[in-house]
Each structure stands twice: as structure tokens, then as C-alpha cells.
Amino acid sequence: MTLPTDVVQIISILEAAGHEAFVVGGCVRDTIRGVIPKDWDIATSATPVQAKALFKRVIDTGIKHGTITVVLNHRPYEVTTYRIDGEYLDNRRPETVKFTSNIEDDLSRRDFTINAIAYNPQKGFIDPFGGHTDIHAKIIRCVGDPMHRFGEDALRMLRAIRFAGVTGFSVCDKLLNATIKLRHNLADVSPERIRDELGKLIISPHPWAVELLHSTGLLPYVLQQTSTKSISGAAGWLMSCPPNEAMRMALFLQCCEIDLAQYETVLRKMRFENKIIKEISLYLHLLHTPNPQNRYEIKKALRHVPQDLFENLLTLKTIVDPSQGQIIQVICQESADIIKKGECFTLRDLAINGGDLAKLGVTPGEQMGDILENMLDAVMHNPSFNTREKLLSSVPIS
């Protein structure tokens, strides 16, 4: 493996002080797969106190669990002491953490074999659980007994499926069987953690993996909807959709046989941000509405739906009903032309405003609002009417 200069420097500093240090986890897995890692994590035999003393800029990220963040050349690198996790009593986190000087002890507590590989420039790979072999075989297996691993942290069941989506690897039968038996434990996991894993799965390069949520029985626990029974067609739709979380989530929920009135409730239970909830809800509510039939109706749609979301909505409509493809293409061309020509479809685009009407003696309030709305409607029908002179001449004088 070729390591970044900063990572080599951190390892060298730790080793010069008499400690071991390896890169571990996802960065090793991704490098073996031929994927450029987003982050580089380092495991060391040094305690957090010993590691902190060796670097100029350090952040106590999770020092209770042995993790500090070393900032080098303006980039953060997590450095974690080898550890052994204590007993898990809540299916979420260990009650205690014990530091160790053995890298294999640290690797043995990890979730999957593909994540339990360490590398050091001088010592090479440390791979006690066959992670290298599993990466080349494109299979996801637990480190040790999956019943035990999932009993420690129930989120690992969902993480296995997410990794299948990210890597395209298959999930071994033993792991899937354990998931079926322990699926109810996912109810003990926080909605935020579930949302994060589902979000990564939804936008992954291999979204066919969502079907595993149904076959393992995890889906009702993921969405906190016990009536959820099916995601028929979801994989095909997701693979046809750009990796946009809101768009793909709308398609995913559309397949889950949840009542339209319940979508926002599901998303709020999963702690999605208000902005993305509104976007997903907009897609779901408009997905099966009739398409605009002419330029005027397209403008009415653009008035209530931002242009980028309108384009996304049209994409979703084509995915859900490919027979609309030609019609949707025409609507896309028309809407682009409306924008390009700067045609008016909102009150702020009118050549006059409420202040102009007030000068003519129109009282602010319902009457003024009705006049402006009528003007906008006339302008959307006939763009040439949007001049100051024509609009002012049309104002009714009482």
C-alpha cells in the first residue's frame, strides 16, 4: 500500500517513541479494492496521553474510548489506542473499554472481516480473519460469530447491508440468518444511526441491496412501521435514479406501501432535517399528479416548485412510469425555454408591484392581492402583457 505523506509521518513519530502504529479499517479495505480512501484512521499501542504528547495540534475527539484527532497540514487524522470492548448490555455500545498493546486484540472486536485488516509500511498486512480473501471473493462476513457481533451492536446488521450497497459484495448466508433471528434488536438503536446507514445505502452504487432489508425482516424496524411489508420494484427504480438522497428516498418510500399521510411521520421519526423532509414530501405528493398540458400550466407548476426540484420531479415521474418519457422530455424543454427567456411566473417577476398599486389608490390587503394575482395569471397566458404601461392601464379604478 502507498500511504499519504502525513500518515507515514504520524506512524513514524509514534514508532520513534517506541509505539506500534498501523492504518486500519476502511482505508485499508478501500485501498485493496482500488478505491481512494476518504479518511485515514490509525491504530496504535500508545495510550491517548502518550499519543497526545507527541503531536503539536491534537483534539480530544473521543478520548474516553481512546481516540484523539491529530491535525497535520490542516487535515484531521484519527489516532486510536488498541482496545478491547467490554460487555454490551444495550445492543448499542460497550459498557467499558480496555486498552491493549496487541493489534490483533483490536482487530478482533471489529464488525466485518473486510474492516479488520491493519497495515504498516515495514510490517505489512495484519489480517487474522481473512479479510483480504473476502475482499477478493467479494463477500461480507462477520469477525467471529454474527450472532455475537449483532448482539453487541444491532446496527451492524444494517451496516452489513449498507456495505453490500457500497461495494457490490454479497452477504454470507450465516450473517443473513443471524440478521433474521436478531432483527428485533434494531428497535434498540437510535433513529439517527439508522437514518445515516439507510441514507448511505439509498445513494450507494449498488442499491439492489435494499431488497435485503425486506428479505431479512429489517424493513419495519428501519422505517418504524410494523405494517411495512414490501419494497417491490425499489431496486430497479433506485438504479435508474441519480444518487440524490431526497429523490431516491422518495422512490424507496413509494415502494414501501405506506399511506401517503404517513410519509412525513416516518421521516420525522428517523430525524431527517426539515429541509429534506419537505423535499421528499413534495416529490411524493406530486409524483402521481397530472402532468402540465401546456406552457401556461408549466408556469403554474414552476411558481410552486423550484426549478431544480421541478426537474427532479420530472425525472422521478419518468422512472415510475417510463411510458411518460416523451411527454416529460417535452415538458423539460418547455420549462428550460421559459427560464431562458425570463418569462414571468411569480409575483416578483411582474413589471409592477404593490407599491405601484398603492400609488393608484389601491388599498393594501385582499383587493391588492387579487389584482396582482389576476395580473400574474394574464401575464402567464400572454408574456407580452408584462410591461409597466399595460399592467397599470389594467388596474381597476374605484
Contact 91, 155 (CB under 8 A): no
pLDDT reading at 91 higher than 60 = no
CA 51 to each of CA 5, 26, 102, 115: distance values in angstroms, whole numbers, following the listed order = 19, 22, 16, 23
Q: How far apart are CA 41 and CA 69, in angstroms?
A: 10
pLDDT reading at 159 higher than 90 = yes
Strand 41-44, strand 75-81: pairing? parallel
Give the pLDDT confidence score for residue 173 in this predicted structure. Answer: 97
Give the pLDDT confidence score for residue 221 in this predicted structure. Answer: 92
How many CB atoms lie under 10 A from the CB of residue 132?
Answer: 16
- Regarding predicted confidence, which is higher, 235 or 87? 235
Architecture of domain 1-130: 2-Layer Sandwich (3.30)
Q: How far apart are CA 133 and CA 50, in angstroms?
A: 35
pLDDT reading at 89 higher than 70 = no
Residue with cell 421559459: 338
Average pLDDT over residues 267-271: 91
How many CB atoms lie under 10 A from the CB of residue 378?
Answer: 14
Question: Interior CA angle at 133 toward 132 and 136, to 5°?
Answer: 90
How many CA atoms within 13 Å lie on the side-chain side of 299?
A: 23
Give the pLDDT confidence score for residue 252 in this predicted structure. Answer: 92
Q: Do domains 1-130 and 138-287 have the same CATH topology?
A: no
Is domain 138-287 annotated with CATH 3.40.50.300? no
Q: How far apart are CA 287 and CA 282, in angstroms?
A: 8
User: For 110-134, how does the pLDDT look when each residue is reduced to its tens digit (9 = 90+)?
Assistant: 999 999 999 999 999 999 999 999 9
Contact 54, 150 (CB under 8 A): no
User: For 272-318, how does the pLDDT look when each residue is reduced to its tens digit (9 = 90+)?
Assistant: 999 999 999 999 999 989 999 999 999 999 999 988 999 999 999 99
pLDDT reading at 338 higher than 80 = yes
Give the pLDDT confidence score for residue 97 in this predicted structure. Answer: 80
Give domain limits for the chain. 1-130, 138-287, 288-341, 347-393
pLDDT reading at 231 higher than 90 = no
User: Which pLDDT band holds residue 261 (cuts at 50, 70, 90)?
Assistant: confident
pLDDT reading at 227 higher than 70 = no
Report the predicted TM-score, pTM, of the whole model to 2 decimal places: 0.87
Contact 143, 107 (CB under 8 A): yes
Give the pLDDT confidence score for residue 86 in this predicted structure. Answer: 66
CA 270 to each of CA 86, 102, 138, 196, 225: distance values in angstroms, whole numbers, following the listed order = 29, 38, 31, 9, 11
Write out the H or E segment, with its range, that includes residue 277.
Answer: helix 274-286
Give the pLDDT confidence score for residue 232 in this predicted structure. Answer: 73
Give the pLDDT confidence score for residue 229 in this predicted structure. Answer: 60
Give the pLDDT confidence score for residue 213 in this predicted structure. Answer: 94
Average pLDDT over residues 27-42: 96
Contact 125, 159 (CB under 8 A): no
pLDDT reading at 93 higher than 90 = no
